[in-house]
Structure 1
Amino acid sequence: MSSSNPVNHLHDIILTPTAMTTAALFTGAIVVLIYLLYQCSLPKPIPGIPHNQTSLDSPLGDFPKMLQYMHEMGNSLCFCFSSHVQKHNSPITQILIRPFTRPMVLLADFRFLHRVAGPAIDVNASRLIELWKVKSGMAAGSPFSANVDVYQAALDAVFGFAFGKDFPHSATRPKLELLKGLDAESVERIRRKGEKGDDEPIEFSGAETDEVITATLDLAIMLGTGPSLLSPAIDIPEDLRRETSQLAKKEGKGRAWDPEDIGVFKPERWLVSAPKGHREQSGFEVEFDAAAGPQLSFSLGTRGYFGKRLAYLELRILITLIVWNFELLPCPKELSSYNSTLGITNKPNQCYVRLRKVDHTL
């Protein structure tokens, strides 16, 4: 009986031509498969639409650059898209967002895009005013954050006109009751100034929120950004547009904002010269025109926000009550940024107010 060395036997198997050929074919197949998967994962831009050429060599496409932009600029995805459009100076661009998917096409030209609630809103807006009167008294001239207060007051208003103005659940009422119940020592702690004195924002403790309210905390207006809205429109030859778009402009429907101050907060841009008959009847030289220029606060077309009029009613009541009851003083520059974060809506990163109560007895 002869014995054999297992090591030599294994060595013979490995070195046989058949084994070597099989291993080579298997390795080659794996390499080819990896290469094909890599090629399939690379962005596939739509021909004829501007895009970042340098993003074609990575399966992640534009994604790393987008993250870097948002980190460095402190802005939301909306502003990242706007920057992309402005970079290519084109009304239609594409973003290569992730592997194995089609590009995201960005359209940035406005002309391409084809009495029950009142009392409830008033009750909840008035509650916000009462809360801010208490807060402004405690703040004694210092700014404080208004973001959550406005957000929750809007939510209360929605519940109010949906379920009646006597709806028992509220996000604002617990905070108001908490502050009104503070003793003198607690109020004094709130009023303590930091190193910045009156410019130091006051922090108010939050109250435990009603569970019904906690379940619904995403309500605001979706703001449009980008060319035609917050930056000058991209110049497009009229002969490249559809006949309906050209006709709309000839009929005076293709309006645009003045590019010189398009990014400035300027409410009077919606005031236009009133027709002669209206001037004689009202006595005003100008009138409000909701279509004075392009805007996408409520989107457009069949997917446009159907609650637009309700939202405007809420805004009118809330802003009127705020301006009627408070003088809005300037906040420190470091609390006055226009940077934002994209959630369900485009939310400001900083939303502070410095209030002085208006004395209506004078």
Structure 2
Amino acid sequence: MRPRFFCPQALSHPARFYAPTPSHETYTEYTQAMPYFDILGIVGNFQLLTVYFAFGSFVVLYGLHRWLLPKPLPDIPYNEDSAKSIFGDWLNLRNDPGGLAKWSSKQLEKHGSPICQALMGPLSKPVVLVGDLREVREVMTRSDYDRSAYIIDRFPLLGEFHLNMMTDNDWRTSRNWLKDLLDKPHMHNVVGPSVHTSMVRIIDLWEHKARLGNGRCFSMVDDLKYLALDTIMIFHFGDDFADSALARQVEFIKGLKKTEVKFGAHGEAIFPQAKLHSFQEALTYLGDRVTAIYATKWPVALVSWWLRWGTSHCRKLFSYKDSFIRRHIDIGVKRSIHDEEAKTGIDSMVFREQKAAMKAGRPTVLGKSIFVDEAWGNLVAGQHTTSAALVWILKLLADYPGVQETLLSELQSALTEAVQENRLPTCAEIINTKIPYLDAVLEEMLRLRAGMIVPRDTVRDTELLGHHIPKGTVVLMILQGPDFSKAPSTKYWRELKTDATRVKQYPGNGNEDLEVFDPERWLVRGEKGEIIEFDGSTNAQLAFGLGIRACWGRRLAMLETRIMTAMMVWKFNFGQVPEALASHAATYDISYRAKQGFVNIESR
């Protein structure tokens, strides 16, 4: 006898491990049955492993899902359904035709609260939305908040422009270069007259367009962009740049025949455009695309890279605009060497940098990108923001003919010499004459149609409307909608507003419906109904911001809009355009821009 299977224990316990050799029949049955039992064992183990794997996968995926879910800040209203999705509010926002600003305003109304939060998707911190006027003013002026990375990330192609900086030493240096540009002598003696000259040109241009188009409406968008472009070019380059976009358009339109004018589907006249100076062409082409990146639904970094490096055309334009600005910087340096006075805005920037460098005992940065980018950024921002505001003014005046007629009457009452001499008012007359109703028209436009959102980042833990806001949170201040251009309708908000110790009341006049364009809100009238003065503190309007990060170009923008509005209303009556062309739908980039801008004019 021998063991069937050998093991060491068999030597000490033979009775347990030795058995007689099975018969042929028994052996055959055993060997035939053995594969069946082995398969059952394998299958059973596989099924068990599958169960373990499925359970483990479920636990991992569930944990991953929980980890990716948005983490709302405590006690601040939010959309509960969005908190159950890893995408949060992102899909809802993406599908809203009004974009971020309009969507944010809707959220405040939906929650019936002056503060709520948006859950922006996996691994993203909540964004706090604030619409309460008092709190917005405080956020803009408190050191707990700084420039938001939300903005900086969306304008990478503006480079080291001060708009793209946190409030640090580089930002202070950049802003210091601009101080002399807004001095009263420069504004009234250089910028103002150049705006007036441009207005004379655009009036001439529009009279020719009205004649060629047989009185039909036409787009004003490009023409007002050229107006702002000419102004910002004079502002920076003065007489060193003698070309004019509007002068080119006037000369071109004067040589146009009626047969060369096309007409759109709604009867609007469509005019060809004259070719611009190469730098102005580069500025408008790149500026339009750089600012449009703000609203892109594609990854900003990818779009920016493609615009900067993706095509040879854009690469050449970026290189050209840098070399053009550097040439004018060199001109300013030469003037400083010869002790000449500053003749242009670039000269003033150069002189200020040289003084600052000498005082600090450091080399100048005149040859570095930060100086070039400051000029570049101001050229882009100055052109886009002002032209957008000019379009809104004329659209609103056309929609409210009563306001238009009142404005004309007030202008004629204030500028009597121009009326008597049957001429356009001069730049000095418009700037130096007190015209409260004109100021009210401009302020009302800014309330309704200027900036919509202002982002800030918290630089430390802080408190907002009684809620804890952690460091690094993006706070979006909503400047259109509840409390600004729309009366809050919810009980929660109304109760908050009754607490006079918390919220400054803005008395206001005029129509109680905040969505109506009514300049009377800003006027103080006497017992007999006469206008006594314009009062900019009677309503909420923060189009230019507040505090240290307020828009530095406010004085320039208001000068342009004041001269343009006065001269346009003096010369033209603005009638209604076809309904299909009169929409107030808008896009938001570096400014709040109307998608349609058509005028129907009749000379007075």
**Could you tell me how far 1:95 is from its partner in structure 2?**
1.0
Q: Which amino acid aligns with 2:481?
A: G
Q: Please give the alpha-carbon distance, in whole angstroms, between the structure 2 residues aligned to 1:67 and 1:270.
A: 37
1:262 and 2:514 matched: yes
Q: Which amino acid aligns with 2:603?
A: K
1:138 and 2:384 matched: no
| Change over 3 Å in CA distance of 1:285–1:48 after alignment to 2 | same
**Could you tell me how far 1:172 is from its partner in structure 2?**
2.9
Q: Please give the alpha-carbon distance, in whole angstroms, between the structure 2 residues aligned to 1:256 and 1:97.
A: 36
1:97 and 2:343 matched: no
Q: Which of the numbers 243, 249, 260 marks the counterpart of 1:175? A: 249
User: Residues 338 and 349 of structure 1 are in contact (CA less than 8 Å); yes or no, is this contact kept in structure 2?
Assistant: yes
Q: Which of the numbers 274, 285, 290 marks the counterpart of 1:207? A: 274
Q: Please give the alpha-carbon distance, in whole angstroms, between the structure 2 residues aligned to 1:170 and 1:37.
A: 60
Q: Please give the alpha-carbon distance, in whole angstroms, between the structure 1 residues aligned to 2:94 and 2:119.
A: 13
Q: Please give the alpha-carbon distance, in whole angstroms, between the structure 1 residues aligned to 2:51 and 2:509.
A: 67
| Change over 3 Å in CA distance of 1:344–1:165 after alignment to 2 | same
Equivalent residue for 1:77?
100
User: Residues 68 and 122 of structure 2 are in contact (CA less than 8 Å); yes or no, is this contact kept in structure 1?
Assistant: yes
Q: Please give the alpha-carbon distance, in whole angstroms, between the structure 2 residues aligned to 1:291 and 1:240.
A: 20
Equivalent residue for 2:6?
none
SS of residue paired to 1:43: coil
Gaps of 5+ in 2: 1-34, 139-184, 289-379, 390-449, 452-478
Once the two structures are superposed, what CA deviation does each residue of 1:295-353 show, in whole Å capped at 9, x if it has no partner?
Answer: 12112222211211221111001111211221111111221111111111111111110
Q: Which of the numbers 52, 59, 69 marks the counterpart of 1:42? A: 69
TM-score, length of structure 1 as denominator length? 0.78
Q: Please give the alpha-carbon distance, in whole angstroms, between the structure 1 residues aligned to 2:276 and 2:63.
A: 54
| Change over 3 Å in CA distance of 1:98–1:131 after alignment to 2 | farther
**Could you tell me how far 1:239 is from its partner in structure 2?**
8.2
SS of residue paired to 2:269: coil
User: Residues 128 and 172 of structure 1 are in contact (CA less than 8 Å); yes or no, is this contact kept in structure 2?
Assistant: yes
SS of residue paired to 1:60: coil
Q: Please give the alpha-carbon distance, in whole angstroms, between the structure 1 residues aligned to 2:253 and 2:551.
A: 36
User: Residues 46 and 103 of structure 1 are in contact (CA less than 8 Å); yes or no, is this contact kept in structure 2?
Assistant: yes
SS of residue paired to 2:268: coil
1:155 and 2:251 matched: no
Equivalent residue for 1:286?
532
| Change over 3 Å in CA distance of 1:239–1:138 after alignment to 2 | closer
User: Residues 121 and 160 of structure 1 are in contact (CA less than 8 Å); yes or no, is this contact kept in structure 2?
Assistant: no
Q: Please give the alpha-carbon distance, in whole angstroms, between the structure 1 residues aligned to 2:238 and 2:499.
A: 52
User: Residues 523 and 531 of structure 2 are in contact (CA less than 8 Å); yes or no, is this contact kept in structure 1?
Assistant: no
Q: Please give the alpha-carbon distance, in whole angstroms, between the structure 2 residues aligned to 1:155 and 1:28.
A: 65
When structure 1 is superposed on structure 2, of 104-113 and 207-216 the one drifting more is: 207-216
**Could you tell me how far 1:284 is from its partner in structure 2?**
4.9
| Change over 3 Å in CA distance of 1:164–1:55 after alignment to 2 | same
Aligned-residue CA RMSD (Å): 3.1
Q: Which of the numbers 486, 499, 508 marks the counterpart of 1:231? A: 486
Number of corresponding residues: 324
**Could you tell me how far 1:85 is from its partner in structure 2?**
1.1
Q: Which amino acid aligns with 1:58?
A: S
Q: Please give the alpha-carbon distance, in whole angstroms, between the structure 2 residues aligned to 1:141 and 1:303.
A: 45
Q: Please give the alpha-carbon distance, in whole angstroms, between the structure 2 residues aligned to 1:166 and 1:188.
A: 38
User: Residues 169 and 212 of structure 1 are in contact (CA less than 8 Å); yes or no, is this contact kept in structure 2?
Assistant: no
Equivalent residue for 1:4?
none
Q: Which amino acid aligns with 1:157?
A: T
| Change over 3 Å in CA distance of 1:174–1:39 after alignment to 2 | farther
1:271 and 2:523 matched: yes
Q: Which amino acid aligns with 1:84?
A: Q
| Change over 3 Å in CA distance of 1:25–1:172 after alignment to 2 | farther
Q: Which of the numbers 82, 89, 93 marks the counterpart of 1:66? A: 93
Q: Which amino acid aligns with 1:202?
A: A
Select the structure of larger CA radius of gyration: 2
Which is helix-richer, 1 or 2?
A: 2
